[in-house]
Amino acid sequence: MPVTGEGLSNGGPGGHSDKVLQVHPQDNVLVALDDLKRGQEIRAGTDTVMLVTAVPAKHKFATRSLDSGEPVIMYGGIIGKAVVPIERGETITTQNVHHHVAQVEGKTAPYSWTAPDVSRWQGRTFAGYQRADGQVGTRNYWLVIPLVFCENRNVAVLKQAFEEELGYAPPQVYRNHVARLVGLYKEGKIKTEDTGATGIERARDVQERRTVFQNLDGIKFLTHEGGCGGTRQDAGGLAGLLAGYIHHPNVAGATVLSLGCQNAQIASLREEIQKRDPRFSKPLFILEQQKSRSEFAMISQAIEQTFLGMVEANQCRRAPAPVSALTVALKCGGSDGFSGISANPAIGHTADIMAAIGGKTVLSEFPELCGVEQELVNRCTREKDGERFLRLMRDYNARAQAIGSGFDMNPSPGNIRDGLITDAMKSAGAAKKGGTSPVAAVLDFPEYITERGLNLLCTPGNDVECVTAQVGSGASVVLFTTGLGTPTGNPIAPVVKISTNSELAGRMPDIIDLDAGPILTGQKSVEAIGEDVLELVIRVASGELHTKAESLAQDDLFPGKEEFPSEYDLEIQRHVPFGGQCRSSHRGRQRHRASHRRDVCCSRSAHPHCGFG
């Protein structure tokens, strides 16, 4: 039997039966836990609601009649307004409800927080890599990075040279699959015999790598499409992001390839590294092709220096470190109507535990915080952070609107199909990832996290773009909730996938690390799953477990193509969210250039041609 609302907290369900759930006592909608039929009678507290429409699972229906213009309430707040009269028992859809949020002001009330009981976590440690600057890594990687896209090909050459010889190349499962099919074809048996794909799938799970360096988790080769051809602010933002990866606790050292004439200069990279660590002491080799006598000479030098650097990095060993030394990113993607009810509040509880023991967490995806600004402003410990958060949000949305978009266009077709019909509804659930602790700092891309507690980092909602930025700001582990399933990973930080529902966990077990579905059935509480998540994080951080994303080599990196200027890079009090240039049409490019003339730039996640998370 499901537990009652009293057994759940931290934004969890306020009460539910086997078929429906009320998230908050003030809500005028209920959530369908299963497909409901038209004419079905549903118990709503002491009342009964007869459904006048069928209600798909994850969708919502009105518990009372709503006039046009009336607010729709969920999570205890406004998540839209009726644009036509809505009957009692009618499904909430994009046709009868549009995005709408409450007015936001400055800080309106003091914030008081009751921290969770963390006696279980006091003194807990993980086995991490201690760095000279005091950071502690969960992995030990060597990086090879191009400072400009012109060097991507040379990075690929280095990758081919290193991975196989050192034992870091992923298993060639698909190549072996094709080879088997070729063999069957040559034998004339391709149409009559089983190809053995199932056996190949099983073989993938048991293959082990034998590496040369036992204390190095790998050598990662990052490529991107930036560094030149855009604005000087583009180059500055990219240099800041790459500096964040080099400074990252999961990185032992790096090799950087530069062409020489690009906007992203070596001096800029060094300056950004110095901002993050004035006493930077990791091995760092930077090679400039235009100063080398030949491509062969540069690559040969890069190979020798990189190998010797890896020999040095291999001397680092895991050692006990407090769990508070972790920096945990909070992310959702492929969200569904259960995200804000199960997995998101669960990792929100994880975040609260981290805050209570002195750890760091980071909540991002600013387009998906639309409608919860007032709560977050009130939670800011410093007034200047609340002001900065509102400025970033307003300027971000203004730049999106300048090119014909806006936060209201955030929900993707998949979100809408699975019950998230307005950005305010999606945001109210997405914000649950941040728990209830005070906001310690508000950051703009690509600033680095230094404050203990909950940090807000301005990024788009785009899955890979956001995770790329979170890790560049110092996240050593990423918690990623999903209701629809998404294969997002990161080259240097383990990404832990948490499903919002058990059906997804059963259907896509190759990408899901933990299932939060038992919250929906009442088998477990939000707190219990949140604690399960932290236990899993400790094992992953210690290297005892590899995440599914790591096992599948999902090394996604997407800094965003061009247009990186931000408040941080421009050092002004105006913000231009990082993201991509729309290339959908000549007119689109003209509008984009015009927006720059007005100091307005679209975000990749705010433009329909650039994609949402």
What digits encode the pLDDT tens for the residues 474-519?
A: 999 999 999 999 999 999 999 999 999 999 999 999 999 999 999 9
In a domain, 33, yes or no: yes
Residues 282 and 374 in one domain: no
> Is residue 51 within 8 Å of 89, Cβ to Cβ?
yes
Mean pLDDT of 204-230: 83
3-state secondary structure of 455: strand
In a domain, 43, yes or no: yes
Mean pLDDT of 427-442: 97
Which secondary structure element, helix H or strand E, spans residue 384, and what is its range?
helix 383-402
- Structure confidence at residue 208 as a pLDDT band (50, 70, 90): low
pLDDT digits (tens, 9 = 90+) for 515-556: 999 999 999 999 999 999 999 999 999 999 999 999 999 999
Least confident of 175-189, 382-396, 597-611: 597-611
Please state, for a pLDDT cut of 90, what percent of the chain lies above it: 75
Residues 405 and 345 in one domain: yes
3-state secondary structure of 596: helix
pLDDT at 579 over 90: no
pLDDT at 45: 77
> Is residue 31 within 8 Å of 67, Cβ to Cβ?
no
Q: How far apart are CA 566 and CA 396, in angstroms?
A: 10
Residues 420 and 476 in one domain: yes
Strand order from edge to edge, sheet including 15-16: 15-16, 20-22, 29-32, 60-62
How many CA within 13 A on the CB side of residue 544? Answer: 10
Please state, for a pLDDT cut of 70, what percent of the chain lies above it: 85
pLDDT at 191 over 70: no
pLDDT at 566 over 80: no
Sign for the CA dihedral angle at 363, 402, 589, 593 comes to negative
In a domain, 426, yes or no: yes
Burial class (CB in 10 A: 0-12, 13-18, 19+), 389: buried
Residues 256 and 155 in one domain: yes
pLDDT digits (tens, 9 = 90+) for 8-17: 333 344 444 6
Q: Which residues pair with 74 in a beta bridge?
A: 77
Q: How far apart are CA 611 and CA 613, in angstroms?
A: 7
Mean pLDDT of 97-106: 91
pLDDT at 58 over 90: yes
Tell which of 315, 338, 362 closes a domain. Answer: 315
Q: How far apart are CA 40 and CA 52, in angstroms?
A: 8
Mean pLDDT of 603-612: 35
> Is residue 360 within 8 Å of 455, Cβ to Cβ?
yes
Q: Which residues pair with 140 in a beta bridge?
A: none
Q: How far apart are CA 27 and CA 79, in angstroms?
A: 10
Mean pLDDT of 154-173: 89
- Structure confidence at residue 195 as a pLDDT band (50, 70, 90): low
Q: Which residues pair with 97 in a beta bridge?
A: 82
Residues 300 and 351 in one domain: no
Mean pLDDT of 287-312: 97
Residues 242 and 360 in one domain: no
Mean pLDDT of 45-52: 90
Tell which of 290, 315, 340 closes a domain. Answer: 315
Give the distance, in angstroms, between the CA of residue 397 and the centroid of all CA atoms in the same chain.
20
Which structure tokens are listed for 232?
């000087």
Residues 596 and 451 in one domain: yes
Q: Can you tell me which residue has the tokens 């560094």? A: 227
What single-letter amino acid sits at 501?
A: N
Looking at residue 71, which CATH number applies to its domain?
2.30.130.110
Which structure tokens are listed for 1?
């039997």
pLDDT digits (tens, 9 = 90+) for 70-79: 999 999 999 9
Q: How far apart are CA 515 and CA 342, in angstroms?
A: 10
Cα-based angle 75, 8, 49 (whole degrees, multiple of 5)? 55
Query: SS3 for 286-327, per residue?
Result: EEEHHHCCCHHHHHHHHHHHHHHHHHHHCCCCEEEEEHHHCE
> Is residue 589 within 8 Å of 562, Cβ to Cβ?
no
Residues 357 and 383 in one domain: yes
In a domain, 281, yes or no: yes
Domain that holds residue 301: 141-169+209-315
In a domain, 557, yes or no: yes
Give the distance, in angstroms, between the CA of residue 199 and the centroid of all CA atoms in the same chain.
33
> Is residue 28 within 8 Å of 81, Cβ to Cβ?
no
Tell which of 98, 116, 133 closes a domain. Answer: 98
3-state secondary structure of 42: strand
Residues 328 and 440 in one domain: yes
Q: How far apart are CA 6 and CA 15, in angstroms?
A: 8
pLDDT at 388: 97
Looking at residue 278, which CATH number applies to its domain?
3.40.50
Residues 352 and 421 in one domain: yes
Residues 278 and 307 in one domain: yes
CB atoms under 10 Å from CB of 6, counted, come to: 8
Residues 147 and 225 in one domain: yes
Find the radius of gyration of the CA atoms of the chain: 25
Which structure tokens are listed for 2?
């499901």
Q: Which residues pair with 71 in a beta bridge?
A: 81
In a domain, 592, yes or no: yes
In a domain, 133, yes or no: no
What's the total number of domains in the chain?
A: 3
In a domain, 584, yes or no: yes
Pairing of strands 71-74, 77-82: antiparallel
Question: From residue 169, how far is each of 159, 210, 221, 301, 308 by CA, in Å?
Answer: 9, 10, 11, 22, 19
